[in-house]
Amino acid sequence: MVIIMNKENEKQIHELKSIRRKIFIRFSFFPLFIGLFVLLPAGTFLFWEVYAYFAVILIPLAFVISYFLKNDPDFLERRSKMKEKETQQKKIVLLSIPLYLAGFILPGFDHRFGWSDIPVFIVIIADLLVLSSYTYIFLVFKENSYASRVVEVEEAQKVISTGPYSIVRHPMYLGVLVMFLSTPVALRSWWAVIPFAIMPVILVFRIFNEEKVLSEQLPGYTEYCRKVRFRMIPFVW
């Protein structure tokens, strides 16, 4: 019995180390991403909106990761997955990548050439919306440990119908939608609104395919859809 327990503990410790390693590697890419895709197009390090925006993202993210490392490391393992299994989802991801990158590259050029004139207080409001949406997404994650980054159904997975899931079927995407639409303003660029405004359309296609997969593979999901009418935005869609 002691030997079995020791093996289980060793396995848990090994899995935690693996998760921490993945998180550390991904965190290390943030400065490179900011430098290549935002500051390089801007041609300057004097771009306070960028630092404010990524602080609003990364500081809460550090607390969220600490929380789940302690309380639900399996959730972090699910969120660390990047490779989609569904062919339709692979196409959606490929389509979203250039839009996502354009949404960060354009603010850099906008800052360099002064295309947009957005008041500071509007930028701050946008940052607060980003923070609020991220806080909301964290609450969604607490409610649903199976909120994987990829579309899949795991063994023993069950339908979540409590908390925000009692109002809309995809509450995480509602938070992501607010974050997407607030990001270009937080980076002080009207031009960056264009690629980010297309991202909600990408989310719609992702949701349609995700619901198809869940209806086919997750017991009880079809009945849940009958009870909760709205997919992402209450009383709208």
Residue 1 has pLDDT above 80, yes or no: no
The pLDDT value recorded for residue 229 is 93
Please give the share of the chain, as a percent, with pLDDT higher than 70.
Answer: 94
6-10, 91-95, 136-140, 225-229: range with lowest mean pLDDT: 6-10
The pLDDT assigned to 3 comes to 52
208 token code pair: 């349609």
DSSP string, 9-24: HHHHHHHHHHHHHHHH
pLDDT 10s digits, 166-201? 999 999 999 999 999 999 999 999 999 999 999 999
> Could you tell me which residues come within 8 angstroms of residue 222 by beta carbon, excluding any fewer than 6 positions away?
215
Which pLDDT value is given to residue 13?
67
Binning pLDDT at 50, 70 and 90, where does residue 20 land?
confident
Tokens 């550390």 correspond to 24
| Residue 59 neighbours by CB under 8 Å, 6+ apart | none
pLDDT at 99: 94
Residue-level pLDDT at 7: 60
Amino acid of residue 144:
N
* Mean pLDDT across 109-114: 96
Q: Please name which of 214, 232, 234, 210 lies closest in space to residue 224, comparing C-alpha atoms.
A: 214
Buried b (16+ CB within 10 A) or exposed e, 177-207: bbbbbbbbbbbbbebbbebbeebeebbeebb
Q: What angle separates helix 120-143 from helix 48-71, to the nearest 10 degrees?
A: 10
The alpha carbon of 149 is separated from its chain's Cα centroid by a whole number of angstroms, namely 8
Domain 2-227 has CATH 3.30.390.50: no
Q: What pLDDT is recorded for position 203?
A: 92
Interatomic CA distance for residues 79 and 77, integer angstroms = 5
234 DSSP 8-state letter: T
